[in-house]
């Protein structure tokens, strides 16, 4: 089972613009890590709990291109997205948290990209 991806509208244009700004703008790892960090705690609080293993298994992964929240537990996607044939309803803990924080996440990206552009403009 592959995990569904969250698609950000305009992401391709943002990457293209950042690439034009130069090598210094390609690495957004810190921003991606910050955004994933905003999501992981509240999502853990929204998860179903039997033992707490699922919430405790979540890890942030960040690179220059994206942020992810991953779990090594095989049942993590089943809990998030459900399995109707087995009577398991979706919890949407991560998805719901991401949606509820969309405005705050947009603000972080806007602020960090603006800061990056300002720094580049100041250096020349």
> Residue 72: its pLDDT value, please?
96
Contact by Cβ (8 Å): 73, 59:
no
- Record the tokens describing residue 81, joined without a space: 């997205």
- Report which of 94, 98, 38, 100 is spatially closest to residue 71, judged by C-alpha positions: 94
What is the mean pLDDT for each group of 10 consecutive residues in the chain (124 residues)?
61 69 68 95 95 96 91 96 97 96 94 81 62
- Report which of 86, 87, 98, 105 is spatially closest to residue 4, judged by C-alpha positions: 98
| Domain carrying residue 96 | 29-116
Residue 53 located in a structural domain? yes
Residue 93 located in a structural domain? yes
> Residue 3: its pLDDT value, please?
58
E strands present in the chain: 59-62, 67-70
CA distance 48 to 94: 11
Residue 3 located in a structural domain? no
CA distance 92 to 47: 8
Give the count of domains, the chain: 1
Residue 1 located in a structural domain? no
Residue 16 located in a structural domain? no
> Residue 88: its pLDDT value, please?
96
Residue found under tokens 């398991």: 88
Residue 96 located in a structural domain? yes
Residue 51 located in a structural domain? yes
> Residue 10: its pLDDT value, please?
73
Handedness of CA 11, 16, 18, 23 (dihedral sign): positive
CA distance 119 to 6: 29
Residue 24 located in a structural domain? no
């Amino acid at each position: 089972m592959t995990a569904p991806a969250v698609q950000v509208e305009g992401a391709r244009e943002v990457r293209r613009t950042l690439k034009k700004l130069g090598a210094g703008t390609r690495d957004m790892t810190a921003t991606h890590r910050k955004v994933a960090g905003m999501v992981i705690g509240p999502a853990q609080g929204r998860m179903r709990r039997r033992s707490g293993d699922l919430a405790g298994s979540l890890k942030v992964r960040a690179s220059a291109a994206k942020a992810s929240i991953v779990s090594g537990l095989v049942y993590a996607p089943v809990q998030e997205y459900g399995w109707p044939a087995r009577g398991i309803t979706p919890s949407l803990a991560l998805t719901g948290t991401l949606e509820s924080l969309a405005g705050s996440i947009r603000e972080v990206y806007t602020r960090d990209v603006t800061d990056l552009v300002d720094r580049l403009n100041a250096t020349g």
